[in-house]
């Protein structure tokens, strides 16, 4: 009897820990969505994707379409890379990322050509240049390769939304002050022009896009002093 008792004592005990599953929209996951909209914005904080912010923000419509296009590409690419992260050899990871992003960009471009040809023609090569957008490649390399599918999806949506937010704000002021229109429709009444108001043609030039982005950066850093880099 003692022998059996000693054998039982030596039997290893297995403890089952009921680990609570993290909610889909936990505080940690929600931060992936709202942080790039403000304190970690790709354009105003990380200073990435500036080229498209200068080139396609003359009108609000193409800026909005570009924002949605980048969101689709980033969300889909992040999910695919996250799914394949354990299968991608380290030495060819950049090539795989480029192939995935290029495939997503081609799909988006074909959809635009089919359903919004005028906008696609207006955006021209800038849709194709999403492939080389530092924001897209940066999030694949820095986040999707090391995180799960859901978090990678949220990260893609959040960073694309932060990027698109700046594009839309810049395009809003450039089109409104530069031509008196929004989405191609005149919004400044004729009576304002009769009082002597004149559209600011400088707002339609690329340098004014850079100045507008600079003003947004200044406003953001004035509101949040922790973003100011110390020399």
| pLDDT 10s digits, 100-127 | 999 999 999 899 888 888 888 877 777 7
For residue 48, is it within any domain?
A: yes
**Range name among 9-23, 160-174, 181-195, 199-213 with the lowest pLDDT average:** 9-23
How high is the pLDDT of residue 80?
Answer: 94
**Range name among 18-22, 64-68, 161-165, 220-224 with the lowest pLDDT average:** 18-22
Domain tally for the chain?
1
**Would you give the end-to-end CA distance of the chain in angstroms?**
77
For residue 122, is it within any domain?
A: yes
For residue 162, is it within any domain?
A: yes
Task: Classify residue 153 as exposed, middle or buried by CB count within 10 Å of its CB (0-12, 13-18, 19+).
Answer: buried
In this predicted structure, the answer to whether residue 10 has a pLDDT above a threshold of 70 is: no
For residue 164, is it within any domain?
A: yes
- Domain that residue 165 falls in: 26-224
- Of the candidates 145, 54, 25, the one whose C-alpha atom is nearest the C-alpha of residue 93 is 145
Tell me how crowded residue 178 is: count the other CB atoms within 10 A of its CB: 18
Tokens of 155: 């990260």
- The model's pLDDT over 67-103, given as tens digits with 9 standing for 90+, comes to 998 999 999 999 999 999 888 888 888 999 999 999 9
For residue 203, is it within any domain?
A: yes
Whole-prediction pTM: 0.81
For residue 17, is it within any domain?
A: no
């Amino acid at each position: 009897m003692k022998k059996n008792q000693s054998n039982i004592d030596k039997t290893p005990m297995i403890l089952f820990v009921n680990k609570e599953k993290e909610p889909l929209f936990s505080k940690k996951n929600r931060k992936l969505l709202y942080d790039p909209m403000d304190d970690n914005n790709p354009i105003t904080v990380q200073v990435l994707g500036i080229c498209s912010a200068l080139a396609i923000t003359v009108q609000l419509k193409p800026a909005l379409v570009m924002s949605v296009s980048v969101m689709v590409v980033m969300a889909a690419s992040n999910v695919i890379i996250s799914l394949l992260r354990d299968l991608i050899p380290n030495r060819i990871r950049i090539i795989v990322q480029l192939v995935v992003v290029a495939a997503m960009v081609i799909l988006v471009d074909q959809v635009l050509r089919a359903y919004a040809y005028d906008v696609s023609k207006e955006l021209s090569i800038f849709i194709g240049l999403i492939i080389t957008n530092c924001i897209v490649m940066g999030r694949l390399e820095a986040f999707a390769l090391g995180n799960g599918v859901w978090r990678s999806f949220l990260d893609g949506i959040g960073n694309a939304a932060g990027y698109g937010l700046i594009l839309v704000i810049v395009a809003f002021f450039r089109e409104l002050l530069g031509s008196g229109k929004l989405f191609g429709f005149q919004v400044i009444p004729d009576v304002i022009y009769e009082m002597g108001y004149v559209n600011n043609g400088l707002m339609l030039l690329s340098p004014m896009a850079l100045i507008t982005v600079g003003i947004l950066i200044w406003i953001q850093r004035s509101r949040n002093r922790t973003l100011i880099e110390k020399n």
